[in-house]
Amino acid sequence: MTPYELLAIVAVIGAARAILSLRPVVAGSSGRSTAIAREFLDPFIIAGIAAWVLITFVARTYYIPSGSMLPTLQIHDVLLVDKFEYRFHPPREGDIVVFPPPVPTPDDFIKRVIGRPGDTLRIAGGTVFLNGAPLQEPYVAEKPSYNLEIRDYGIYVSYGAGWQRIDSSAANIPPAALWSAPNRIPPHCYIMLGDNRNDSEDSHIWGFAQDGGRFATGARSNAPGGFTGRAFLIFWPPSQAKIL
């Protein structure tokens, strides 16, 4: 349920409560039925407002619809996402983050932070090299079958038959003027990859996610970027429950 849907339900209950407050008391009833109805509606209104505040500003649930984060996250897992943490610091390497991607979609994506602003990053022979050092990634389903390099103010991907620059008409690749160096991730930009590397629509396809501002290029050019929050707990099903 989205915050807007919850707010709409609270509004309907509030309207019903207001109607009952204005309704004349039927003779001989002493207003008992109206009082009982109010007694039941008021807690729903208070609980609904409290829940709206929580899911809007503090935390929300997120349902896993695909296998792009296997084996860490299973299809149908339900997560708790902290929406408050990134008000104090940017995402850290390895965080599992919910965010709006730079491609048209009705839902947020969930991926792992691999590269942050100012980092150098390449993938070669199935290994991610971050700032020149290989990453130890015990969480991946299998090593990526592609190579990737950030260079010349772009993202280049190879599937074994030469390098292809990701097309900025379909991906978020800021213009050179917004980069700090031709081979470093631009300011406010992040490389996000799924743990199921070879079955994940992520930065090797649609470019950079952003911690704010607006996407520079791609299908959602000029749409707002940002991070919804950090996934920190699987709470359903109980057999899968754990802190991330």
pLDDT in tens, 127-149: 999 999 999 999 999 999 999 99
Q: Which residues of 12-49 are buried (b: 16+ CB within 10 A; e: fewer)?
A: ebbeebeebeeeeeeeeeeeeebeeeeeebeeebeebe
Residue of 30, 66, 83, 111 marked catalytic = 111
83 catalytically annotated: no
* 29: containing domain: 3-57
242 catalytically annotated: no
User: Are 15 and 130 found together in one domain?
Assistant: no
Residue range 187-210: average pLDDT? Answer: 97
Residue of 68, 83, 200, 203 marked catalytic = 68
pLDDT confidence bin for 93, thresholds 50/70/90: very high
User: Are 39 and 159 found together in one domain?
Assistant: no
**Nearest Cα to Cα of residue 150 among 181, 122, 131:** 122
pLDDT confidence bin for 29, thresholds 50/70/90: very low
User: Are 125 and 28 found together in one domain?
Assistant: no
Of the listed ranges 25-29, 106-110, 121-125, the least confidently predicted one is: 25-29
Question: What is the count of structural domains for the chain?
Answer: 2
User: Are 48 and 154 found together in one domain?
Assistant: no
Rounded distance between C-alpha atoms, residue 121 and residue 135, angstroms: 10
Measured at the alpha carbon of residue 172, what is the angle toward residues 83 and 209, in degrees to the nearest 5? 20
pLDDT for position 47 = 54
pLDDT confidence bin for 13, thresholds 50/70/90: low
Residue range 31-54: average pLDDT? Answer: 54
pLDDT confidence bin for 116, thresholds 50/70/90: very high
In a domain, 77, yes or no: no
The token pair that represents 193 in the structure block: 């990859």
Strand residues in 181-244 grouped as ranges (E)? 189-193, 209-210, 229-236, 242-243
In a domain, 243, yes or no: no
